């Protein structure tokens, strides 16, 4: 065992052992009985305000164990009943232990949205992540993307994607998607602004040609009332 992973003190060892053994114990039980969609599986996932005190200051290690549990939980149900009734509890527990764990919010939102059939819960998880990580372009981008593809709300999506594109570290494709969403929502001025940004900043000539093409259509006099689907 690496020195950094040594846990001293019986209370800490017991708390982390409970977290580490939760999923393996569940697997052992699952071999001896059929998989049933009941609430007993929820016992594998500690939740509530006492989870952080239970980790006795080792919240990052506890979050790593919860992350492994989340991956295993998803894989198990992906291969069997494809029911993810406790995914929300698990991911909220995980992000509660480590609020800065961006990938947990992203993966959790994906599972909730695409597998658990809970797009509202997915957006709520991302909003929570955005509130706790206000400088994260990734979480705001994922939130805007979900708005664009799920709620068919390109106007709100464009605002979120535009905000993400202006944040430090945001890659160029964020501005391009924001420009598409702005055009689709009829936000002509915002679409022009974003496509000009793409034209100015992109070193890729093919992308620059695409930006010029959209700008010609958007800046034409007859484009003032363009239908969203034409952009």
Condensed to tens digits (0 to 9), the pLDDT of residues 61-109 reads 777 778 888 888 889 998 999 999 889 988 988 888 889 999 999 999 9
Mean pLDDT of 7-30: 40
- Would 128 be classed as within a structural domain? yes
Average pLDDT over residues 157-186: 89
Higher local confidence (pLDDT), 141 or 10: 141
Residue ending a domain, choose from 103, 134, 165: 134
Higher pLDDT, 17 or 132: 132
Above 90 in pLDDT, residue 181?
A: no
Q: Is residue 41 one of the residues assigned to a domain?
A: no
Specify the pLDDT at position 86.
86
Gap between the Cα atoms of 215 and 60, Å rounded: 48
The domain of 56 spans 51-134
pLDDT band at 43 (very low <50, low <70, confident <90, very high): low
Query: Does 172 score more than 80 pLDDT?
Result: yes
Which residue among 134, 163, 180 closes a domain? 134
**Do residues 176 and 119 both lie within one domain?**
no
Query: What is the per-residue pLDDT for 19?
Result: 39
- Cα–Cα distance measured from residue 18 to residue 98, given in angstroms and rounded to the nearest whole number: 18
Same domain, 56 and 122: yes
How does residue 45 score in pLDDT terms, banded at 50, 70 and 90? low
Whether residue 174 is contained in a domain is answered as yes
User: Do 125 and 60 belong together in one domain?
Assistant: yes
One domain, residues 100 and 174: no
C-alpha 116: how far from its chain's center?
14
Regarding whether 130 and 159 lie in a shared domain, the answer is: no
In the chain, the number of structural domains is 2
**Residue 146 forms part of a structural domain:** no
126 and 164 both lie in a single domain: no
Burial of 83 (0-12, 13-18, 19+ CB in 10 A): middle
Pair (159, 129) in one structural domain: no
Helix intervals (H) in the chain: 10-32, 51-54, 59-79, 87-97, 102-110, 119-132, 137-150, 154-165, 172-184, 188-201, 205-219
Residue at 102 is within a domain: yes
202 touches 222 (CB < 8 A)? no
126 and 89 within one domain: yes
* pTM, full prediction: 0.67
pLDDT at residue 27, as a whole number: 43
* Per-residue b or e along 98-108, where b marks 16 or more CB atoms closer than 10 Å to that residue's CB: bbebbebbbbb
Residue 34 lies inside a defined structural domain of this protein: no
pLDDT tens, position by position, 122-142: 999 999 999 999 999 999 999
At residue 124, the pLDDT reads 95
Token pair listed for 62: 């506890």
Residue 5 lies in a domain: no
Q: Which CATH number covers residue 72?
A: 1.25.40
**φ, ψ for residue 230 (rounded to 5)?**
-85, -5
């Amino acid at each position: 065992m690496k020195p950094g992973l040594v846990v001293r003190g019986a209370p800490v060892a017991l708390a982390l052992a409970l977290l580490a053994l939760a999923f393996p114990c569940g697997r052992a039980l699952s071999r001896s009985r059929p998989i049933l969609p009941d609430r007993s599986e929820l016992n594998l996932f500690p939740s509530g305000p006492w989870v952080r005190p239970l980790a006795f200051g080792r919240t990052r290690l506890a979050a790593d164990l919860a992350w492994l549990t989340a991956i295993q939980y998803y894989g198990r149900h992906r291969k069997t009943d494809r029911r993810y009734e406790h995914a929300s509890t698990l991911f909220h527990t995980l992000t509660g232990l480590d609020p800065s764990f961006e990938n947990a919010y992203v993966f959790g939102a994906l599972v909730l949205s695409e597998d658990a059939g809970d797009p509202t819960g997915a957006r709520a998880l991302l909003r929570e992540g955005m509130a706790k990580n206000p400088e994260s372009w990734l979480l705001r981008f994922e939130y805007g993307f979900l708005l664009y593809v799920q709620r068919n709300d390109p106007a709100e999506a464009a605002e979120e994607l535009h905000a993400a594109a202006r944040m430090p570290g945001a890659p160029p494709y964020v501005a391009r998607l924001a420009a598409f969403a702005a055009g689709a929502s009829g936000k002509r001025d915002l679409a022009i602004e974003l496509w000009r940004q793409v034209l100015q900043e992109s070193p890729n000539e093919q992308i620059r040609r695409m930006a010029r093409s959209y700008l010609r259509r958007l800046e034409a006099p007859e484009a003032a009332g363009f239908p969203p689907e034409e952009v």
